[in-house]
Amino acid sequence: MPFLPVLLAMASTFSPTSAARALVPGSTSRPLFLAAAAASSGRIQPSRKGLDFRRGRFTVCNVAAPTAAEQEATASAAAKESQRPVYPFAAIVGQDEMKLCLLLNVIDPKIGGVMIMGDRGTGKSTTVRSLVDLLPDIRVVVGDPFNSDPDDPEVMGPEVRERVLRGDTSVPVTTAKITMVDLPLGATEDRVCGTIDIEKALTEGVKAFEPGLLAKANRGILYVDEVNLLDDHLVDVLLDSAASGWNTVEREGISISHPARFILIGSGNPEEGELRPQLLDRFGMHAQVGTVRDAELRVKIVDERARFDRDPKTFRESYNEEQEKLQQQISSARSNLGAVQIDHDLRVKISKVCSELNVDGLRGDIVTNRAAKALAALKGRDSVTVEDIATVIPNCLRHRLRKDPLESIDSGLLVIEKFYEVFS
């Protein structure tokens, strides 16, 4: 049967309001495939704006499409609807040391991350993931896979940096939440570092870089659960990126470097294995988490968790006010951080504590100063006090002390003893 009569016969079975009907621009009665057939037989003159018919074929042009802003808003709304509900940070009972370390790193990312070690089932990963709701907005370049900062060349992707160096002022900018990226234990090195884009290589015949998790985590948070079980080759990758702030990929004829500055957060159970000392030293702070022993607190935790499991949406709404207060406190602390001062005498005493504890390197001194300033900013002050230093110094130095197999005392207590000895 000839093709055109078949189409005409099919068309006669559709109603004018059929969802399958595509109308020619400017027409309200003729389906698209009938218009194409009629145009090919010379009965109608095709519209140059909407359709272009050549030898019985047609191409569609000037089709109305949603703007980039509309697409971004739709995608953001869809992502919020589809994502799993997160336990509110304000609803976490106890574990004040861990929560404080996380908040200080959000206020000042240059502290260098947190290592959280403790018993299983103490809410380590729940607390870290609940941090997502409190993360502030940052300015990023639209469509850039590296979350490039439009104002800082040090954290720009290669393409954006080239455009800025050429003097291009039309780089589109938007605001977005700081991202949190999970690094699975079974991830491959290609997925973490990035690799060649095979699809583009096959379809377009060009070598293109496909960014990995380190690119996605730039200017964000990289979280590794059970970090002490991470494969050695991935530990090497993390060490390299954490040390330089850049990720360099050399493979399949591709040589590319991109910024990879992230807050590294790890959690684990010390009974399952020790962490390599090189990686441990890369964490700015160390939080020790223990099981809650108070019976009343344990009952409260169980009840709160049961409420969340029963109706996550209502449970989250009940903590909206506290969450908003925390967000405002963090935002205010980030903006005031630059104005916080620490006296020279206090800085000298911090370095004296580090020296007398035989802490290798100067990271301990730097992190303690930064953490004390962040804590002062969180409390709304513009100067650091001795109490601020006493609060943060055990978390900044505990994991940097040399291990003595015959020593039974906790390293955090050693730091506190030395602190009171020096600051007395």
Which of 291, 209, 223, 323 is CA-nearest to residue 255? 209
How far is the C-alpha of 286 from the C-alpha of 227, rounded, in Å?
13
Contact between 211 and 243 under an 8 Å Cβ cutoff? The reply is: no
- Asked whether 393 and 415 are in contact (CB, 8 A), the reply is yes
Q: CA 369 to CA 387: how far, in whole Å?
A: 13
Let me know if 222 is exposed, middle or buried by CB neighbors in 10 A (0-12, 13-18, 19+).
buried
Rg (CA), the chain: 29
Q: What angle do CA 175, 177, 179 make, to 5 degrees?
A: 130
Residue that has been written with the tokens 């379809």 in this structure: 203
Catalytic residue among 316, 363, 370, 400: 363
In degrees rounded to 5, what are phi and psi of residue 291?
A: -75, 135
> Which residues are paired to 375 by β-bridges?
none
Q: Which structure tokens are listed for 26?
A: 């400017």
Comparing CA positions, the residue from 209, 278, 275, 282 lying closest to residue 245 is: 282
Q: Is 363 a catalytic residue?
A: yes
Max CA pair span of the chain = 101
Task: Tell me the catalytic residues.
Answer: 363
